[in-house]
Amino acid sequence: MSGYPVIRDPSLNRGRRFTSEQRNDNRLVGLVPSGRPRTLSEEITRLLTKLKPLPTLLRYEMLMAVLHRDEQLFFATAQANLPKVLPMIYTPAVGDACVNYSDLEIPMRGLWIGIDQKGNIRNILDHWGETAEVVVVSDCERILGLGDLGAQGMGIPVGKLLLYSACGGIHPNKCLPVVLDVGCDRDDIRTSENYIGLNQKRVRGPEYDQFVDEFMNAVVDKYGTTCLIQFEDFGTRNALPLLQKYRDQLCCFNDDIQGTASVGLAGVLSALRIDGVPSTLKEHKFLFLGAGSAGLGIAMLIVLALVREGIPEEDARKQCWFIDSRGLVYNGRANVTDAKRPFAHEVPENVKGVADKGLLEVVRALEPTALIGVSTIRGAFSEDVIREMAARNSRPLIFALSNPTSKAECTAEEAYTFTEGRAIYASGSPFAPVALPGRETKLVPGQGNNSYIFPGLGLGVTISGARHVPESMLLVAADTLSKLVDEEQLAVSCVYPDLNSLMDVSAHIAYAVCKEAKAQGLNEKPVDHLDVKTIRHMMYEPGRGEM
């Protein structure tokens, strides 16, 4: 391509960075102003300076505009500044963006497939017209911890796929974001005049199931059996059944269940290496606040990790306990759904007596070593609760994983302050390091977000051409992530690697996933020639060599 089409193609356009030579060779003279060509690093600095004073939504709008004009600038900026840029395009900003999506001034990106289009999905995929290797699909019933946002949830599939490129090195042209618009149960959203989605209540039951099924088949028909489909932010009632239905049939996984599980387990495995924390998994007791897809996913993977250590599954499950909206889940309680039943244990009378008395009483009765927040209830880990954990554990694990920041069960500062700095804290959305009086170094909260897992997992799955995503891939991803946490991180109580190293992390995870694909006989492509370095070099990194 040459001339004006180059300027209009975001993957080719370099704007004012085109060198004189490029301008001459590609008929671009006159299409860019005649002044001195800028360098990439100059433009990155300028962009970050511009973004800094802007409020969240304006930042988001500006970044989306850059993305649609100049992919090199967008991704090079992100890749060179991940800790700074991720919160602007991903959690927490993407939460705000979704809430306001209908009113944003942003280019449309992705496919909205309305339930009114049933029977026509395969044709709609042709409208996208590009190849796809990774599809992130949401019905937006549970966007982060913000609930049902209807078709406005598109920010999430878009954001996840931006991370596939920025952190996992998968080319943006191979990424397809999809919203299945089956309606919205929030009247205020769907009846608002400017709403981008269908003004109807959510379709449920057989019609919903058929619609999702039509979509899954259409993706396979168009993009093949090795196209990875990531389920994202479905409501719990659909998330688990959909995963169970398709996991052994197609190449798919659920990020909220399995990605979160893998990152959660990785954080726990890292914590085992910290002095004062019981050093084997089997010595721990996990209490989950919230029994949705994230909590159940983490518990199921912990059980798998325990079974791997030789613990009988029955006993392994007893190390995980759940509190849902009705209190502690136990055997014999009313309203225990099938999904929670494996974690409904026999309890003595004293525990039964406090089951509905709130988190503090349950912590006293059960004496967990780890508290995992997946409830989306800000403040649920109150000062009393945190102090109780600190009284019973020399280094309590306190993970407040709900997103975005406004939904975290407690802040980093609360966890550290109420435990005199002894808590091993992680959160789903970012918190800044915390200085405590009398301590020389700051404590660094780890971001226990599935963004440490899914980009590398997806990269490994696509490179190996894996036909399925077995649970063992999530297990090796967790092992790999945990091993990348160095002593320096652990010394400041951080159980995840530095965010700046996310592209390297993804390369390591991808390599582990490729090996696992081969071990399970699932790879359609050869993987024996691969190593971490080769994979790292294959990754999309549009600023490489230009900075």
Ligand X SMILES: O=C([O-])CC(=O)C(=O)O
Annotated binding site for a divalent metal cation: 232-233, 256
- Report, in Å, the least distance between residue 259 CB and Mg ion: 8
Please give the Cα distance from 183 to 197 (Å, whole number): 7
Query: Taking CB within 5 to 8 Å according to partner kind, which of ligand X, Mg ion, none is near residue 506?
Result: none
Q: Pick out the residues of the known binding site.
A: 142, 232-233, 256, 403, 449
Q: Which is nearer to ligand X, 145 or 396 (CB)?
A: 145
Backbone phi, psi, residue 142, to 5°: -140, 80
Q: Which is nearer to ligand X, 233 or 409 (CB)?
A: 233
Binding to Mg ion by residue 139, rule CB under 5 A?
Answer: no
Across the strands, what pairs with 289? Answer: 323, 373
Count the helices and strands in the chain (H runs, E runs).
Answer: 24, 12
- Report, in Å, the least distance between residue 94 CB and ligand X: 7
Neighbours of 34 (CB within 10 A): 9
Active site residues: 90, 160
Which helix (DSSP H) or strand (DSSP E) does residue 456 occupy? helix 454-464
Token output for 539:
């990754």
Q: Which is nearer to Mg ion, 218 or 263 (CB)?
A: 263
Contacts with ligand X: how many residues (CB under 6 A)?
Answer: 9
Please give the Cα distance from 306 to 280 (Å, whole number): 10
CA angle 174-257-167, nearest 5°? 35
- Report, in Å, the least distance between residue 403 CB and ligand X: 4
Rounding to the nearest 10 degrees, give the CA dihedral for residues 178, 74, 544, 517: -20
- Report, in Å, the least distance between residue 319 CB and ligand X: 24
Give residues 69-108 in contact with ligand X (rule: CB under 6 A).
91
* Contact present, 13 and 65 (Cβ < 8 Å): no
Query: Taking CB within 5 to 8 Å according to partner kind, which of ligand X, Mg ion, none is near residue 428?
Result: ligand X
Q: How many residues does the chain have?
A: 547
- Report, in Å, the least distance between residue 416 CB and Mg ion: 26
Give residues 217-276 in contact with Mg ion (rule: CB under 5 A).
233, 256
Print burial letters for 217-252: b (CB count within 10 Å at least 16), e (below 16).
Answer: ebbbebbeebbbbbbbbbbbebbbebbeebbeebbb
Please give the Cα distance from 50 to 70 (Å, whole number): 16
Strands 446-447 and 370-373: unpaired
Amino acid code (one letter) for 81: N
Convert residues 252-291 into a mask of x (bound to ligand X by CB under 6 A) and - (unbound).
Answer: ---xx-----------------------------------
Convert residues 375-404 into a mask of x (bound to ligand X by CB under 6 A) and - (unbound).
Answer: ----------------------------x-
Peptide bond into 404 cis (omega under 30): yes
Amino acid code (one letter) for 175: C
500 alpha-carbon distance from chain centroid:
17
Query: Taking CB within 5 to 8 Å according to partner kind, which of Mg ion, ligand X, none is near residue 95?
Result: none
Q: Which is nearer to ligand X, 91 or 226 (CB)?
A: 91
Binding to ligand X by residue 233, rule CB under 6 A?
Answer: yes
Convert residues 443-472 into a mask of x (bound to ligand X by CB under 6 A) and - (unbound).
Answer: ------xx----------------------
Q: Which is nearer to ligand X, 37 or 404 (CB)?
A: 404
Q: Which is nearer to ligand X, 375 or 450 (CB)?
A: 450
Could you list the residues that contact ligand X (CB under 6 A)? 91, 144, 233, 255-256, 403, 428, 449-450
Binding site for Mg ion (CB under 5 A): 233, 256
